[in-house]
Every structure is written in structure tokens, then in C-alpha cells.
Amino acid sequence: MDFALTAEQKQIKEMVSEFVDEEVKPRAAEIDETDEFPADLVAEMGELGLMGMPFPEEYGGAGLDYHSYAIGLEEISRGSGGLGTIVAAHTSLAGNMLYEFGNEDQKQTYLTPLNEGTDIGAFALSEPGAGSDVPAMETTAKKDGDEYVVDGGKLWISNGSVADTVVVFAKTDPDAGNKGISSFVVRPDEDDGFVVEGTEHKLGDKGCPTAELRFDDMRVPEDRLLGDEGDGFVQALKTLNGGRITIAARSIGIARAALDDAVKYAGEREQFDQPIGDFQAIKHKLADMDTKVQAATLLMHKAADLKMRDETFIKEAAQAKLYASEISREVANEGIQIHGGYGYTKDFAAERYYRDAKLNEIYEGTSEILRNTIGDWLQK
């Protein structure tokens, strides 16, 4: 068992880290304050090959292994949690749906520009009454000649208001339960009836627009169906399993940022004629924070390794996402505590890390759902 990074993985880490330190971190507070989609940074990431990291070069991707992708996303999230979500939703969800379930023409036409960063992707699954309970969705797609007519709406869609390609899930057979769900490639600029109702005002994750979408008699050509009718539910579960590894990466990146800032502050802030980092209480906090980050990192790479080996990784991905998301919040919370009163102000980034970290416990599988998943696998 080798825990050392390969030369390529080290290179990716160094390259992304440099980009984050020079381009992202100086803008992070501004992005958080304005909540504007950082189109210029996303375009630059496309030029660097960061918008299609795990996909083959033949489709415009960087051809990196999943460890490298997780490392890259961790670094991006260290700079900005919102930017981390933009990349994760674009790549792990929209991009992966096209790569795993699209035909050759769909990959060339829609996946390639996503990987090159010239298009932005989104994954539209959740609805007001169908979050964890996917089969409860009410969006429908009825066949009409050589088109599908889609009606309904989606909620909590990351990148939804800026996406060029949206993978939309709808019921093609409302009476078939989860076997009646299908997925489609939707092009907002081409498909009449695609409406952005608005975006959410969120606690954190700023810069990544979370949209409410509506579909009014939206006609989608039949050649935009991904796979066969009725495949959508299984496709969504498989895609979310892989996505949980990258939400673990986002969590770890935010936790690392909180830890780094706490260590720096503890060394600079003096009370009672000595740096607060010299007090055992603060040392113990920092020690626990670092230990949690290291443990979460190992869980993440274990799940990534199984995915790369094409072995079952459902339980491991759930564990990685569950643990990393919860320790991300815990580490960010301790970061605020170490900063004291300053940590509760926007003069320091500590409070932003906490707000960004909380989301990890909610999207792409709540902590409660993940515990159910892990428990189910333990009893198989």
C-alpha cells in the first residue's frame, strides 16, 4: 500500500495550488460578498484543464485519475467553497452522466465542450417534494413524435442559471415508480420552455448559483435521451455515488483552509505575553483538527481507489462524504473559536469556512441518508 503521490499527482497538486493561491484566494471574499458567478475564473480553469479532469483526452478532458481529480477539487475548494461546487456539479454530475451513459455522438457534441470549459454543466434531479425521495418527482416527459415534451420544475440546481447543458430527470412512465424515470440532455438556449425562476439566497457556497428551474411544454429531441427510457434512477444513483467522493474533497479543502488559518492566527495572536498557540488548550484543538483532516483524506482516497479499480465503492463513498462533511464543519467551528471574537466577523475568513462547510452535510446525500446507506451495506 503506497500513500505517496505519483509525480503526476504532485504536479497537479502544485499547479492547482498555485492557481488557487494567486487567482482564487485574493478573490474569495469578493465572491462571497457579491455572490456573482466568477465566469473569468471558470474560463481560466477551463484553459488549465480543470473542468474535465477525470475524462479522456479524446473528449477534451485532461485524462487524470480520480485521485488527481479529488486532489485538484480539494485545492480549488481550499480557495473558494463556491468554486468547488461549480466544478463538482459540472464535472462529477453533468459531465459524468454524459461520459457514463451518453452515446458517442452525445459525448462528442455535449461532453467535449464541458471538458474544455467552453460550456457549463448542471444536473437537475431535486424538486421541492423530491430531494432524498427521488421517485416522488413530478416532472414528466411525454413522447410526441420524435420529441419529448417536458413539464415540471427543479429546485436546488447548482449552476442551473448559467449552464449551457443541463441533465434533466423526468418521468416517462409515471406509473412505474423509480423504473419510470429517464434522463435527458437539455440545452437552455435552444429548448423553448426552459425557464430560470430565480436563484437562492444561501448561507454560504456563494458564487455558485443555485437555481429554481421550470419547464413549460419544453420540447427535447429524442436523440437527447441518455441511455434508454427508465434508466434514469439507476443512472442518478451511480452518478451521485461518484459525486460523493468529490464532495468529500470539497469538505477536506474547506477544512484545510480553516486549519491553515487557525494555525497562522494561533502563532500570531498573543495573550498573557505569549502566542495563544503555546497554550495546551489551543494546541489540542489544532491537533484534533489536523487529525480529522488526515483521516477524512484517507477515506476519500480509499473510495477513489475502489472507483478506479472498478470495484463496488458505494459504502466507502458514503463514509468518505459523511465523515469529511461533518469534520469540515467541526474544524471550521474550531477555527472560529480559536480566532475568538474576530472569528465571528467578516474581517477574517473563519466564518466563511463555517458557512461553506455546512452545505457538505446536505447536498448529494444528507448525513442521515448516508448513514442509512452505510447501515444497509453492513447488513448485506
Distance of alpha carbon 317 from alpha carbon 246, whole angstroms: 9
Q: Are 300 and 253 in contact (CB under 8 A)?
A: no
Q: Are 367 and 318 in contact (CB under 8 A)?
A: no
Helices (H), 80-160: 81-88, 96-101, 104-106, 112-116
Distance of alpha carbon 348 from alpha carbon 167, whole angstroms: 38
Distance of alpha carbon 314 from alpha carbon 319, whole angstroms: 9
Q: Which of 75, 212, 361, 364 is flagged as catalytic?
A: 364
> In this structure, what C-alpha cell is assigned to residue 70?
479529488
Distance of alpha carbon 136 from alpha carbon 14, whole angstroms: 44
Hey, which residues does 194 pair with through a beta bridge? 215
Secondary structure of residue 258 in the 3-state scheme: helix
Is 22 among the residues known to form the active site?
no
Distance of alpha carbon 341 from alpha carbon 146, whole angstroms: 62
Distance of alpha carbon 268 from alpha carbon 371, whole angstroms: 40
Q: How do beta strands 121-124 and 165-171 pair?
A: parallel
Q: Are 364 and 373 in contact (CB under 8 A)?
A: no
Closest C-alpha among 326, 320, 332 to residue 362: 326
Determine the number of helices (DSSP H) and then strands (DSSP E) in the chain.
13, 10
- The H or E element containing residue 155 is strand 147-158
Angle subtended at Cα 370 by Cα 255 and Cα 284, rounded to the nearest 5 degrees = 30
Dihedral angle, C-alpha 67, 70, 73, 75, nearest 10 °? -70
Question: Which residues form the catalytic set?
Answer: 364
